């Protein structure tokens, strides 16, 4: 009886160990199936901390060209939204005034042409066809002279608003160019207390990189 007891006890222990090993292997396989491997970090340098690509800022020349192309775009691209809004409003208002003056000039010119046609037809009926005499007669007509003066005033207004619009475009481009250069300024002020009780205020401006 005693010689068969270890054999009888060994078989159940072996079965139990095999069952435990099977369970452990199955649990590891299930964990491997449930938990996917973490993807490697992707970056410029290949490290785990380099998982994003930095966005480069707009160059001064790019800010200038954008500001010239679309009012306020160059300033908005460097984060100067207040300045961009100012130039957008200023140039937009100038463009609207140009369109308004253009419409008024066209109306005044059409009115002058109509009056001159009527006066020229009247002179032709009277037998006056000499261009110099006709022109003198048109200039002597008070209504035509007033309308011609209005046309000249509208033309001068158009030129003034056009000059202002070109000036604002160049000014906005130059301002965007300078703002792109100085977008990191002003630097934070540095306060230094001296021994005699004075406080010196300065700016720490980095020059170059290294």
Q: Tell me: the pLDDT tens digits for 105-128? A: 999 999 999 999 999 999 999 899
Q: Which parts of the chain sit beneath pLDDT 50?
A: 1-10, 12-13, 15-17, 19-55, 207-210
| Domain residue limits at 136 | 60-185
Whether the Cβ atoms of residue 154 and residue 83 lie closer than 8 Å to each other = no
Cα separations (Å) of 166 from 68, 75, 87, 160, 161? 10, 18, 12, 10, 9
Report pLDDT for 5: 45
What pTM does this model have?
Answer: 0.58
In a domain, 138, yes or no: yes
Residue 3 falls inside a structural domain: no
- Looking at residue 183, its pLDDT comes to 74
- What pLDDT does 76 receive? 93
Predicted local confidence at residue 10, as pLDDT: 47
pLDDT at 182: 85
Residue 198 covered by a domain: no
For residue 193, what pLDDT is reported? 65
Can you tell me the distance from the alpha carbon of 158 to that of 148, in angstroms, rounded to the nearest whole number? Answer: 15
What pLDDT digit, counting tens, does each position of 50-74 carry? 333 333 578 999 999 999 999 999 9
Does the residue 67 lie in any domain?
yes
For the chain, the domain total comes to 1
Q: Is residue 65 part of a domain?
A: yes
Look at residues 102, 136, 104, 96 and name the one whose alpha carbon lies nearest to residue 119. 136
Residue 159 within any structural domain of the chain: yes
């Amino acid at each position: 009886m005693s010689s068969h007891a270890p054999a009888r006890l060994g078989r159940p222990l072996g079965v139990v160990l095999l069952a435990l090993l099977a369970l452990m292997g199955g649990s590891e396989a299930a964990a491997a199936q449930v938990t996917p491997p973490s993807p490697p970090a992707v970056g410029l340098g290949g490290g785990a901390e380099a998982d994003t690509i930095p966005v480069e800022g707009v160059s001064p020349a790019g800010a200038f060209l954008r500001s010239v192309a679309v009012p306020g775009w160059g300033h908005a691209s460097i984060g100067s939204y207040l300045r961009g809004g100012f130039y957008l409003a200023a140039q937009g208002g100038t463009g609207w005034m140009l369109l308004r003056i253009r419409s008024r000039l066209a109306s005044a010119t059409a009115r002058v042409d109509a009056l001159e046609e009527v006066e020229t037809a009247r002179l032709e009926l009277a037998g006056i066809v000499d261009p110099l005499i006709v022109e003198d007669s048109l200039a002597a007509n008070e209504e035509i002279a007033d309308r011609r003066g209005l046309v000249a005033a509208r033309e001068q207004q158009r030129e003034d608003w056009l000059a202002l619009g070109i000036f604002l475009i160049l000014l906005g481009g130059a301002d965007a160019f300078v703002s792109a250069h100085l977008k990191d300024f002003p630097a934070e002020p540095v306060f230094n207390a001296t021994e005699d009780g004075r406080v010196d205020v300065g700016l720490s401006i980095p020059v170059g990189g290294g």
